[in-house]
Structure 1
Amino acid sequence: MNGHSGGREEGRPALPPLVGDEQLDRLQQSLRQVAHTHGRMRSLLDAVLTISAALDLQVVLRTITESARELVDARYAAIGVLNDAGEFTDLITSGFGADHVRGEDGVELPHGTGLLGELVRHPEPLRVDDLATHPKAAGFPEDHPVMTTLLGVPIQVRDAIYGNLYLADKQDGSFTQEDEEMVTALAGAAGVAIENARLYQRLRQATEEFQRRLLPTLPDLPGLRLQARYQPSTEAPRIGGDWYDLIHLPDQVPCLMVGDVMGHGIEAATIMSQISNMLRVIAFDEQEPPSRILHRLDDVLHHLHGGPMATVVIARLEPVPSGGRLVRWSSAGHLPPLIVTPDHRARHLFEDIGLPLGVDPDLPRPDHECTLPAGAGILLHTDGLVEERGHSIDAGMRQAAATAAEHADDPLPELCDALLAHRRGTYHDDVALLAARLTS
């Protein structure tokens, strides 16, 4: 015996003291807090990524509103959009039983008084635990849900104030400092997203205006009703090479033309303008047949510009003694005409469409014929009308034909609008559409 039998053996490490229940509870609470904070940060990151991916302003505003409400577990959320004068121009709400947008649902805009006006005048985060007792509160509009707590945060980029983000009635009590920090971070990302969406909107409008200025005004012709549509891509704005045209030839026959230059950008738009202008001159000189017009156009382009790639379809509408019109058409790699008859039938004229311009100007090009009765229509369009990701172009053509058949009795403008509407507002490429209906 060495006299130390009551202590630890020499050289053996000391055991840590046992953790008490109170310490264990604190440890578990800390771990839960870490997990909770990590989860909220992940939700914040997901919300920021979702907002940043959108370019349509209304989609951005709706996404911000819904994301903020979910992030802090609030019953209600709203974004008040401000103009340069600091006045509300839009109010997007979430959680009120149905989402609203001023102008769509008649939701009353804030008048710049009360707490919302205070946040406009002093763009700083604002937390209120009891709205009813706050000295700056101005009450609620008629039929507005009564709210108790409020968290308001300005949406801004640098010195520009785009609006304010409001959250009301947190599900489990009052809004916290952590809630304020989360929503402030989201509002920072929202400001950038709104700025990008507005820049995109202006760029898209300018691009569309430029493109439309390159397209002709349709003439008034006896025996025909005419309509045309140009729909730019709903993706990133870009100048394209889609176009339509109609000329009245010296033999008094109208000639419809639609084309699409390969590629996008200023170069494609320039080539498109050159091709459409040359095609007018060649068609006026040659008049017929359409295949000969395309052959000469291809030859000229080959010698002057090195043969740019493009697709074109040309259709002459020739009167016939029995009434109606004889359609004589030819295509250089372009989608065929879509025929719509008064008996609610519609079909594309699946014939040999030949090769695009710019492949080989010496290759022969076929002509095709089809007789249309009075009341029938012919539509020429670019592939943007029938192309959709995840679906074949054949399926898109069938859908376009079905839509045209369904609206065969509608006025021609409504028929054209229906063809565009069946894409539900999403276009992965530009659309040029030219339609003619025989009245005699």
Structure 2
Amino acid sequence: MNRRRPPTSVSSEELLATLQRLTARARQEVQLHQARVELAEALQREMLPATLLTRPGLQTAARYTPARSGLDIGGDWYDCFPLPNGTLAFAIGDVQGHDVEAAAFMGQIRIGMRAFAATTSDPGEILSRTNDLLLSVDSTLFATCTFARLDTRTWVLDTARAGHVAGVWATVDGRSGIFEDAGGLPLGIQAGPQYPVTRHRLTAPGAFVLLTDGVVEGPSFPIEEGLDTVVQLVAPRAAAGADELADAVLQAAERTGHEDDAAVLVLRHDAPRAAQRDDR
């Protein structure tokens, strides 16, 4: 007749020692993860431009904020720099994935775009060349981006999109909306996509707002509703300063649940009043 062996008893000292080992291991893993998060956030903020371009009749403002959870960091970015022909370049993007690798990938995109912009000012061509560069480094990451070129002499804004979320516009005379320009695939996915350029003639004072999907999309907050929310926030403030507009747009991120990092880039322009002043 088989008899069951009684279960081996575990002393309280052994149980306590096991719990201590498990707790120490968990604490070490948390500390390692937190260190990677802090490094990613530091890289992210250091790589973003310290100052933004302004011109007579043009105010600019940008905001970046990590996810509310503190985990999804390292993907969103913005940039601005002068082009050789006297126009201004503005870009905003979102790298797939997060953490240190995404922050480093973002840095590669910014450097590549600035290098290509030294030889061409065409937004679509700059996106195309950046796409080729990212494919050549054989990374598993990809990114979305909107690249814009603004001529403050003619107040013409040319934009191209690589799989990126649409932007929002508003004018002081009461008009507003979402500009869903034609676009191409995200950067780093496939060779040879075309990035058509859309021309916007700024005929009245107002604002253009570029943003990332962390501002307008959440688990239970569809992107269409988020964009409509941004329009409602920007439209009554079209005459406000760029900083006030940027702060207002970030309110939309709070409504989405803010589970992704978020970036906002505001171009507040006084066209065509500024152009008229220049003609005098």
Q: TM-score with structure 1 length normalisation?
A: 0.51
Quick one: distance in 2 between partners of 1:206 and 1:341? 40
1:379 aligns with 2:209: yes
Residue identity in the other structure for 1:214: M
TM-aligned CA deviation for residue 229 of structure 1: 0.2
- Residue 203 of structure 1: how far off its partner (Å): 8.6
Matches for 1:41-440 after TM superposition, within 5 Å? 208-223=41-56, 224-288=58-122, 290-306=123-139, 308-319=141-152, 321=154, 325-424=155-254, 426-439=257-270, 440=274
1:410 and 1:231 map into 2 onto residues whose CA distance is: 22
Q: Deviations over 1:253-299 (max 9, x none)?
A: 001000111101111111111111111111222112x1111111111
Is the CA contact (8 Å cut-off) linking 1:232 and 1:431 kept in structure 2?
yes
Runs of 4+ residues over 6 Å off in structure 1? 199-206
Q: State which drifts further: 219-228 or 258-267.
A: 219-228
- Unmatched runs of 5 consecutive residues or more in structure 2: 1-31, 275-280
How many residue pairs match? The answer is 241
* One-letter code aligned to 2:51: L
Question: Which ranges in structure 1 are unaligned for 5 or more consecutive residues?
Answer: 1-198
Q: 1:202 to 1:403 in 2, by over 3 A?
A: farther
Counterpart residue identity of residue 333, structure 1: G
Does the residue aligned with 2:110 lie in a helix, a strand or coil? Answer: helix
| Distance (whole Å) between structure 2 residues aligned to residue 209 and residue 319 of structure 1 | 33
State the AA in 1 paired with 2:261: D
> RMSD of the TM alignment (CA)?
2.7
8 Å Cα contact 1:218/1:226 also seen in 2: no
Q: 2: CA distance between counterparts of 1:264 and 1:203?
A: 10
Secondary structure, in 3 states, of the residue corresponding to 1:361? coil
Cα distance in 1 for partners of 2:118, 2:224 equals 34
Amino acid in structure 2 at the alignment position of 1:415: L
Secondary structure of the residue that 2:119 maps to in structure 1?
helix
Q: Among the aligned pairs, what percent are the same residue?
A: 33
Is contact 1:246–1:256 with CA below 8 Å preserved after alignment?
Answer: yes
Structure-1 separation of matches of 2:52 and 2:218? 32
Contact kept? 2:215, 2:252, Cα under 8 Å: no
Q: Give the whole-Å Cα distance in 2 for the aligned partners of 1:200 and 1:261.
A: 20
Change in Cα spacing, 1:278 to 1:423, as seen in structure 2 (3 Å) is closer
Q: Which has the higher contact order (CA 8 A, sep 6+)?
A: 2
State the distance in 2 between where 1:210 and 1:308 align. 17
State the match for 1:76 in structure 2.
Answer: none
Deviation at 1:206, TM superposition (A): 6.5
Q: Offset at 1:320?
A: 5.1
Query: Does the aligned pair in 1 maintain the 2:72–2:261 contact within 8 Å?
Result: no
Provide the C-alpha distance between the structure 2 equivalents of 1:417 and 1:397, rounded to a whole number of angstroms. 16
Whole-angstrom distance in 2 between the partners of 1:430 and 1:341: 28
Structure 1 distance, partners of 2:237, 2:37, is: 30
Q: 1:431 is aligned with what amino acid?
A: A
Contact 2:43 2:103 in 1 (8 A): no
